[in-house]
Amino acid sequence: MSQQACTPHAFNQKTFNACQTLRVLNSTIHWSYYPSKGTVDVAFSQAVVSDSRWVAWAINPTSTGMVGSQAIVAFRRTDGTMNIYSSPIKSYATRLEQGNLSFPLFDVSAIYENNQIVIFATIGLPNNVSVVNHVWQQGPLSGNIPQMHSVSGPNVQSFGTLDFLSGKVETIRRATSSVFKVKISHGIINTVSWGMLMPVGAIVARHFKAADPAWFHVHRACQMLGYLGGVAGFATGVWLGHKSSGIEYKGHRCIGITLMALATLQVLVALCLRPKKTDKRRVFWNWFHYLLGYGTIVLGVVNILKGFDILQPGKIWKISYLITIIVIGCVAVILEARKWLSLWKRKTAQAAEEKTDMPIEV
| Percent of residues, the chain, with pLDDT higher than 70 | 91
How far is CA 285 from its chain centroid?
36
Question: Which residues are within 8 A (CB) of 336 and not within 5 positions of it... i.e. 6 or more apart?
Answer: 206, 207
In tens, the pLDDT along 204-230 reads 998 898 888 899 999 999 999 999 999
CA distances from 29 to 8, 9, 167, 362 (A): 10, 11, 10, 106
Residues near 113 by beta carbon (within 8 Å), at least 6 away in sequence: none
- At 176, the pLDDT band (50, 70, 90 cuts) reads very low
- Asked if residues 124 and 108 have their Cβ atoms less than 8 Å apart, the reply is no
Q: pLDDT (tens digit, 9 = 90+) per residue, 138-156?
A: 999 999 999 988 877 788 7
Distance between terminal CA atoms of the chain? 101
> Is 252 annotated to bind ligand?
yes
The helix-helix angle for 178-192 and 282-311 (nearest 10°) equals 150
Cα-Cα-Cα-Cα dihedral sign, residues 21, 27, 32, 36: negative
Residue 186 annotated as part of some ligand binding site? yes
Does the pLDDT value for residue 320 go beyond 50?
Answer: yes
Residue 9 banded pLDDT, cuts 50, 70, 90: low
**Spatial distance between the Cα atoms of 340 and 334, rounded to a whole number of angstroms:** 10
pLDDT band at residue 328 using 50, 70 and 90 as cut-offs: very high
pLDDT score, position 113: 87
Average pLDDT, whole number, for the chain? 86
Can you tell me the distance from the alpha carbon of 56 to that of 92, in angstroms, rounded to the nearest whole number?
A: 15
Average pLDDT estimate for 54-82:
91
Instruction: Report the run of H or E that residue 103 belongs to, with start and end.
Output: none
Q: DSSP letters of 273-329?
A: SPPPTTSTTHHHHHHHHHHHHHHHHHHHHHHHHHHHHHH---HHHHHHHHHHHHHHH
Q: Is 207 labeled as ligand-binding?
A: no
**Domains observed in the chain:** 10-163 (2.60.40.1210), 178-354 (1.20.120.1770)
- DSSP result, 14-74: B--SEEEE-SSTTEEEEEEEETTTTEEEEEEEEE-SSSSEEEEEEEESSSSSSTT-EEEEE
Confirm if 74 and 114 have CB atoms less than 8 A apart.
no
